[in-house]
Amino acid sequence: MKVSASKKTIVILSVCFVSLLLSGLTLLYKDVVYNGIKYGRWFTLGEDDKLLDDCEYIKREEYVRLECNAFFVNYKADKESENNICLNLKLIPKDSIETITLFPCIERKNLNTKNYRHYNIPNSYFPVVVSFTYKKSGLLKYSVSEISLKEMHKNQIQELKTSLFVSTAHMIKTQKDAIFVVDNYYFVDNPIDEDGYPSITYIKAMTLKNSEFRNNKVVLTFEGWIKSELINLILEEDKFNFVSFDGSIYTISANNYTELKTNKKYQLTFLSLQDSLQNKVSEILILCKNHQDKIFMKTLCDAGEERIRHSIIKDREEYLDRLLETPLEVKPNKFIPYIFSLDQE
């Protein structure tokens, strides 16, 4: 009888122990159990579990990666750690236009994105795909280890502007918009309605400080900012095309260069050819023999064969950086200029 009682006690204690152990594990991993039973996801990202419904994810043994569509609003330093940076994001849900505000913080070295400083522009939403990478931090538990941003595809951005977020479309900006605002320039490789060339470099706003005719050239000196550098940009040309504030197009030469008003703002548009077109110059020159009514092609052709051949640039970013090494005398001689007036005459 005593032996039977002892066995019974052991069985009861064993059952109690197992029950307590299971209860403890269930309590400890309640989020995992909840996710597993309800969604079939036997893991947890902690507070970020809420993102799983609106983001695509892949799970591997050592990591989980989420990809979410969102608007990037701005970034700020983390008050708790100077090594961290915090992102102000508005998550775009899959089935709603009511965005969800997120403020993830991460070490600066683990924020993987190019030129994120460009995104810090007031009253602007930048459509991005945000990738959160979570590494294993325990049994079935994962913690964020890296955040990366990349710009949404242009078709998605257009859809956001024209259907889902029409009322805030004016606030939706692309990285190109941001670079134009912050660095005062941007590049276009394939102009709309042109023949695949020329490439175009836009400089948003420069002030004409001086104009003169020297050595049989019209010499214009502009002042403005590029890449946070105050520069003097000097053009020396026989002639060039100009668009006035009212849209009229005419040629500036020795006869009328004084019509360009000093202390007025102008957008400088520069044409060039990609290095890959080195062997197609003859083809371009044949096109130039035909009547060109496309404005940028006309400007390219009007420059003549020598200038066209000289306008081939392997890397415009590199070329621009090289020009900026002498900020008081920037002479973009490889570019073919085309100027727009930004101020009313």
pLDDT of residue 32: 45
pLDDT of residue 12: 55
pLDDT of residue 85: 87
pLDDT over threshold 90, residue 258: yes
pLDDT of residue 112: 85
* Across 87-91, 155-159, 165-169, least confident range: 165-169
pLDDT of residue 339: 92
pLDDT of residue 170: 77
What mean pLDDT do residues 219-242 have?
Answer: 93
What are the extents of the domains in the chain?
33-159+163-171, 184-341
CA 104-106-111 angle, to 5 degrees, is 105
pLDDT digits (tens, 9 = 90+) for 135-157: 988 776 888 899 999 989 888 88
pLDDT digits (tens, 9 = 90+) for 41-74: 657 888 888 888 889 988 887 889 999 999 999 8
The burial of 87, by beta-carbon neighbours within 10 Å (0-12 exposed, 13-18 middle, 19 or more buried), is given as buried
Domain 33-159+163-171: CATH class, spelled out: mainly beta
pLDDT of residue 31: 47
* Across 7-11, 25-29, 200-204, least confident range: 25-29
pLDDT of residue 191: 58
pLDDT over threshold 80, residue 264: yes
pLDDT of residue 75: 84
Maximal C-alpha separation, the chain = 124
What mean pLDDT do residues 283-287 have?
Answer: 88
pLDDT of residue 25: 40
Q: Identify the residue whose tokens are 């090594």.
A: 83
pLDDT digits (tens, 9 = 90+) for 299-331: 899 899 999 999 999 999 999 999 999 999 999
Q: Where are the beta strands (DSSP E) in the chain?
A: 56-59, 63-78, 81-91, 100-102, 105-107, 111-112, 126-138, 141-151, 185-188, 199-214, 217-226, 229-237, 240-243, 249-252, 265-274, 312-313, 336-341
